[in-house]
Amino acid sequence: MASMLEIMVRGAELVNADEEFIAQMVELDNDIIFWRFEDDQPAVTTRLDKGVIVVEEGENPDSQIGMKLKAKVLLDVVDNSLEAKMMYTYTELVKGDMELARHHVFALVPYIYGMQDYYDENEEFNKMVVDKKTALGE
Amino acid sequence: MSEFVTDIGFDSKSLWQPKGFEPHTFPESTWPLLKELNLKTLTEIEGEDLTPVQGMVKQPMAVGTFRHFYNDKIEKLALMWLLISRSIAGGSWVGWPTDDYDFPALIIAWEESKKRLHIIIDLLPIADCVEYEWYREKYLDGLEPVYNEYKDLIGPNSTYRWFRAMQGPYHIFDGPGEQRGRALACEIEYIKEWVKVVKNAEPVKDEQYKQYAIRRKKILQTQLRQRDPLGSVLMRTLGDELGKKSILGYT
C-alpha cells in the first residue's frame, strides 16, 4: 500500500505533465509547505519550484507553513468528499499563521484540483487513494 | 460623471468556460434587479483606478472581470465574475450605503464548481439590531417570508468567528446540496428586497446616530478588507496590483 508520500509524488507527476495545470502554475515559485501526518510516515514537503510542483520526503526547514493533520483529511480533499478550503478546519498549523497559510496553500490549488481530476480519471491513482483510505479504516 | 448603466457589458457564458460543468448565469440572473437603481459606473475608489479590473482580467490561475457602480444612495456596489483554476465559478454582489444612509449592506456570494456550491446571502446590518431594534424592523424584517421559504438552504455556518459576529438575522450560508436553482432563486429574492430598501431609504437625520452608523460601516468594511479569505485568493490569483483594486472595490 502506498504511503502519503508516494500518493503525493504520483499526483505531482500527473499534474506536472498536464498542459492545463502547467499553464496555471507557470508563475508560482517558492511556496514551501510541510505536511506532518498523524497516522502516516514519512512527513512530506510540497514545494513550488518555478511552476513545477516538487514533492519531497521530510519537513523542509525552509517551509513557510507546516501542517499537522490526519492522512484522511488530505485524501478526503483528493476524492472531493471534503471541500478543499475546509481542510483548515481539520488541520493544526505547526508553522506559520493562518494568513500565511491562506497565501501559500493557495499556490497548491492547481495541484489539488489536478489530483481531484486524476482521482476521477486515472484508475491507478484512484486505486492508490481508495486503498489508502481503506487501510486507514475509512 | 458617467451615464446611467443599462447593460452589464458581458455575457457570462462566453466570458470563460469552466471544466466539466456549466455554471448558472449568476450575473444575468441578478443584474436586471439592480439596474433599476439607476446606477452609474464607479471607476475610482480611494484614489485607486478600478478600470484595470473592469476589463477582462486574464491570469494563469484566474480569468474574469469586475464591475463597480454607485448612485446618490450607494457608495459602491461591486460585481465579481471570476473563474479560478478553471474549476470554480465565483460570483458576488457587495453593496454599501453612502455616509448619508444607513440601509444594510448587500452580501451575495455564489461559488460554484462541478461538485459543490457555496453561497452567502445576507443583508448585513449597519446598526446593531438589538440596541436599535427599529433598524431590524425597518430594514430587515421584510426578509422574513423569503427567509422562511428558503431557510432549508442553511448549512454549517462560516468557520470565521469575526464574520459570524457581523451577520444579519436573516443570514443564509451554505448547505444547498444540489439545490442550485433554489439557491439562486433565494439570492434573487434577497437582492429584490435590498433594492426595495434602497429605493425607500431616506437620509439619516440624527447626526449622532449618523456618526455611529458611519463608524460601524467602516469597521465592517475594514474587517472584510483585512480578513475575508476571498481577499487572499484575489491577491494570489490576480497579483498584488489587480488584487488590491478588486478588494477595494467591494470593501
**Domain with residues A4-132, CATH architecture:** 2-Layer Sandwich (3.30)
Task: Point out the least confidently predicted range of A90-99, B3-12, B218-227.
Answer: B3-12
- Tens of pLDDT, residue by residue over A45-66, are 999 999 999 999 999 999 999 9
Predicted local confidence at residue A125, as pLDDT = 98
pLDDT at B1 over 60: no
Residue B135 · residue B102 · CB < 8 Å = yes
Work out the percent of chain B whose per-residue pLDDT is above 90: 86
Mean pLDDT of chain A: 95
Q: Quick count: other Cβ atoms within 10 Å of Cβ B14?
A: 7
Which of B60, B61, B236 has its CB closest to that of A103?
B236
pLDDT of residue B13: 85
Is pLDDT at B5 greater than 80 in this prediction?
no
Mean pLDDT of B220-227: 96
Residue B58 burial by Cβ neighbours in a 10 Å radius (0-12, 13-18, 19+):
exposed
Q: Distance (Å) from the C-alpha of residue A43 to the closest C-alpha of chain B?
A: 26
Give the rounded distance of the alpha carbon of B36 from its chain centre: 17
- Ranges of each domain in chain A: 4-132
Q: Is the pLDDT of residue A33 over 70?
A: yes
Query: In this model, does residue B2 exceed pLDDT 70?
Result: no
Q: Does position B169 have pLDDT exceeding 90, yes or no?
A: yes
- CB proximity under 8 Å: A 91-120 to B: 99, 102-103, 106-107, 109-110, 113, 117
Model confidence pLDDT, tens digit, residues B91-106: 999 999 999 999 999 9
Confidence of residue A8 (pLDDT cuts 50, 70, 90): very high
Q: Above 80 in pLDDT, residue B3?
A: no
Q: Which of B19, B85, B115 sits opposite A109 (nearest CB)?
A: B85
Q: What are phi and psi of A72, to 5 degrees?
A: -55, -35
Domains of chain B (ranges plus CATH)? 12-250 (3.40.1500.20)
A24 touching B (Cβ < 8 Å): yes
What's the predicted TM-score (pTM) here?
0.92
Hey, are the CB atoms on B237 and A88 less than 8 Å from each other? Answer: no
B161 grid coordinates? 468567528
